[in-house]
């Protein structure tokens, strides 16, 4: 085995696109530096900003939190417990372990505490697929937590491979407008906090190594409702083979897309949801529609409950 590029220790891995053999310690610092320069390259945050970190119990958000904890930032880790069978119970335990390992405080928002039911019942009552309700609920709850916690941005753990896969998928399924959502960040507007993707240039395999070398706790099974379509599996396989033959191509596609995602934006007409008052593309936002259908109540009740919780946790 060869020596590390930076020290005399035995190298544990080879980073092909950087042409460097690295020991565990230097691999971790290589990724930390890469994440920090991603924040700068895409102008994601200002120094000392308060950032909401959405953690799920999975390795990607664990890597993001662990790496960002080494930078001078005010981080607010948040776990959304949607009550998905054992998956949510385990994920919650892991998030608690991770956050206490990093010496932080975790905010847990439980769907059952907010509306008296878990995701599966909510989806059944709203007559909508689990994953689509899950996506809407997560986006809405994170935004409301971020608004009341007065954070500058919400950081999501999406990595390079996921983003490139979705870009290719948008091309193949001729849904070019989806590309607009796949850049490194979105800006904030009144009532809607912008998102950042600090792992925009970090590959899935790099996340796995980082989590292993740093001994981070993470869930090694997926949500029982999650399912990846055949097309996505094939694209992922294809881009990984491309990377093997052309090291660095994934990052170069990501950088090119970062400069061009805005070209795929369609003019969105924003209005305020008549039920909760937050920005929406229709008269009533999709979260409020789901809540109304499933519980008969207004989404604004959920908003108020989160507000109380955040004031309580942060005071
Ligand atoms: Fe949302 Fe599985 S995590 S449906
Ligand atoms: Zn080294
Ligand atoms: Zn609403």
Q: Which domain holds residue 66?
A: 41-261
303 in a domain, yes or no?
no
Task: List, for residues 146-178, the tens digit of each pLDDT value.
Answer: 999 999 999 999 999 999 999 999 999 999 999
Task: List, for residues 267-315, the tens digit of each pLDDT value.
Answer: 778 999 999 999 999 999 999 999 999 999 889 999 999 999 999 999 8
With a 6 Å cutoff on the Cβ, whether 134 touches ligand 1 is: yes
Q: What is the pLDDT of residue 266?
A: 81
2 in a domain, yes or no?
no
Judged against a pLDDT cut of 90, whether residue 16 lies above it is answered with: yes
283 in a domain, yes or no?
no
pLDDT band at residue 232, thresholds of 50, 70 and 90? very high
Q: What is the pLDDT of residue 267?
A: 78
Task: List, for residues 17-37, the tens digit of each pLDDT value.
Answer: 999 999 999 999 999 999 999
With a 6 Å cutoff on the Cβ, whether 131 touches ligand 1 is: yes
pTM of the model: 0.95
For residue 241, give the CATH number of its domain.
3.40.50.620
pLDDT band at residue 265, thresholds of 50, 70 and 90? confident
Atom of ligand 1 nearest to the CA of 138: 1
10 in a domain, yes or no?
no
DSSP string of the chain, one letter each residue: -PBPSSSSSBP-EEETTTTEEE-HHHHHHHHHHHHHHHHHHTT---TT-EEEEEE-SSHHHHHHHHHHTTSS-EEEEEEEE---HHHHHHHHHHHHHHHHHTT---EEEEHHHHHSS-HHHHHHHHT--HHHHHHHHHHHHHHHHHHHTT-SEEE----HHHHHHHHHHHHHTT-GGGGGG-SSB---BTTB--EE-TTTT--HHHHHHHHHHTT-----S--TT----HHHHHHHHHHHHHHHHSTTHHHHHHHHHHHHGGGGPPPP--EE-TTT-SEESSSS-HHHHHHHHHHSS-HHHHHHHHHHHHHHHH-
269 in a domain, yes or no?
no
Structural domain total, the chain: 1
275 in a domain, yes or no?
no
Pocket test for ligand 1, best of 54, 134, 139, 156 (most atoms within 8 A of CB): 134
Q: What is the pLDDT of residue 111?
A: 97
297 in a domain, yes or no?
no
278 in a domain, yes or no?
no
Q: What is the pLDDT of residue 72?
A: 86
Task: List, for residues 80-128, the tens digit of each pLDDT value.
Answer: 999 998 999 999 999 999 999 999 999 999 999 999 999 999 999 999 9
With a 6 Å cutoff on the Cβ, whether 6 touches ligand 1 is: no
Q: What is the pLDDT of residue 139?
A: 97
Atom of ligand 1 nearest to the CA of 84: 2
Residue nearest (by alpha carbon) to ligand 1 atom 4: 131
Taking all residues of the chain, what is their mean pLDDT, rounded to a whole number? 95
With a 6 Å cutoff on the Cβ, whether 226 touches ligand 1 is: yes
Ligand nearest, relative to CA of residue 213: 2
């Amino acid at each position: 085995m060869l020596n590390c590029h930076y020290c005399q220790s035995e190298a544990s891995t080879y980073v092909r696109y950087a042409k460097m053999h690295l020991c565990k310690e230097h691999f971790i610092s290589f990724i930390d530096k890469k994440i920090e320069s991603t924040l700068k390259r895409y102008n994601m945050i200002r120094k000392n900003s308060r950032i909401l970190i959405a953690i799920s119990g999975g390795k990607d958000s664990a890597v993001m939190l662990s790496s960002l904890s080494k930078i001078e930032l005010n981080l607010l880790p948040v776990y959304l417990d949607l009550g998905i069978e054992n998956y949510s119970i385990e994920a919650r335990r892991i998030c608690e372990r991770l956050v206490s390992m990093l010496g932080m405080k975790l905010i847990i928002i439980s769907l059952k505490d907010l509306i008296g039911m878990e995701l599966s019942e909510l989806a059944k009552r709203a007559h909508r697929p689990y994953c689509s309700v899950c996506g809407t609920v997560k986006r809405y709850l994170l935004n409301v937590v971020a608004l009341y916690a007065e954070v500058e941005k919400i950081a999501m753990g999406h990595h390079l491979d996921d983003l490139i896969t979705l870009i290719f998928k948008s091309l193949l399924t001729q849904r070019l407008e989806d590309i607009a959502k796949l850049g490194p960040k979105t800006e904030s507007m009144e009532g809607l906090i912008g998102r950042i993707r600090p792992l925009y240039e970090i590959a899935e395999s790099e996340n796995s190594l980082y989590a292993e070398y740093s001994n981070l706790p993470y869930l090694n099974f997926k949500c029982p409702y999650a399912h990846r379509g055949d097309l996505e599996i094939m694209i992922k396989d294809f881009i990984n083979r491309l990377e093997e033959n052309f090291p660095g191509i994934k990052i170069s596609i990501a950088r090119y897309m970062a400069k061009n995602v805005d070209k795929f934006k369609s003019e969105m007409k924003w209005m305020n949801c008549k039920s909760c008052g937050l920005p929406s593309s229709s008269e009533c936002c999709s979260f409020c529609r789901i809540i109304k259908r499933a519980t008969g109540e207004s989404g604004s009740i959920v908003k108020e409950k989160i507000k109380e919780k955040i004031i309580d946790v942060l005071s």
